Amino acid sequence: MRASLERNSTWPVLTAMALTLTLSLLAVAAPLRLPEGQGFPAPFFPLIALFVWSVRHPRFVPPWLIFIIGLFQDLLTGGPLGMWALAYLLAFAIARLRSTEPSAREFILLVARFSVMAGIATLVAWSAGSLSIGQPADPTSLVTEAVITLIVFPAFCWLFARKRERTTFS
């Protein structure tokens, strides 16, 4: 009974995951038709999506998926290959050093953990990117993107936590 229930709930989750991760990747590369210099810094949508799914279903977010998503982001944006893959992998690895995982209802803990991860990802991406281009890059736009990510993340987290609560007691 339990096995069949789990089997039935796996495919919708995987489908939703594939959809949200694809959309998050498209969101960072989509043309907004803004003149050069007036572009809107896109939040780290793939990191948000990976984090949210890793809290909901940790077993569906293995290291190879994090690597693939980071690699796809590098390829879509034309950035140094491996940069975002390394940033996301290290962010997840360091965040998982803590033995206990915050549950979906611990809103503050989730935001705090994500903030640390976004900070690590920014630092790693800047270091790897600078190494790739052979000189220290101007961190302004990357930091701006990180700040915007932290501003929008609580909304995603709140939506996610509320969804989780509802499904728990239904």
Partner 1 sequence: MAQWRSARQGADDAVRFSRTLLLMFIALSAVLIAADRTEDRVEAVTVFRAAFNDLSLPILEAAAQPLRGLYNIGPWWRRQIELAGEIRELRQEMSELRAWRDVALNYSEQMRRQQELLNLDPPMPRQRITAWAVTETGGPFVRTRLVGVGTDHGVAPGYPALNIYGVVGRTIDVGARSSRILLLTDLNSRVSVMADRSNARAMLVGDNTDFPRLDYLGRAPDLREGDRIVTSGDDNILPRGLPIGEAVLDRRGAWRVALYSSATPIDLIWIWPFTPVGAPADEAPPGLQLPAPPPEQAQDDTPAPVIGVSQDEPESGSESGEGR
- State the residues that interact with partner 1 by CB under 8 A: 2, 6, 22, 26, 28-37, 39, 41, 57-59, 62-64, 66-67, 70-71, 75-83, 85-86, 89-90, 92-93, 96, 101, 126, 128-129, 131-135, 137-142, 145, 168
- Of residues 102 and 154, the one with the C-beta less far from partner 1: 102
- Of residues 26 and 155, the one with the C-beta less far from partner 1: 26
The minimum distance between CB 162 and partner 1, in angstroms, equals 17
The minimum distance between CB 95 and partner 1, in angstroms, equals 10
Tell me if 46 sits within 8 A of 145, measured CB to CB.
no
Question: Residue 117: how many CB atoms within 10 A of its CB?
Answer: 27
Integer Rg of the chain from CA: 17
What are the b/e assignments for 85-112, b being 16+ CB within 10 Å? bbbbbbbbeebeeeeeebebeeeeebbe
Alpha carbon of residue 12 to chain centroid: 20
Give me the amino acid identity at 12.
P
Question: Residue 21: how many CB atoms within 10 A of its CB?
Answer: 20
- Of residues 130 and 154, the one with the C-beta less far from partner 1: 130
Phi, psi of 96 (to 5 degrees): -90, 5
The minimum distance between CB 137 and partner 1, in angstroms, equals 4
- Of residues 17 and 90, the one with the C-beta less far from partner 1: 90
The minimum distance between CB 37 and partner 1, in angstroms, equals 4
- Of residues 127 and 154, the one with the C-beta less far from partner 1: 127
Structure tokens at 4: 């069949």
The minimum distance between CB 16 and partner 1, in angstroms, equals 16
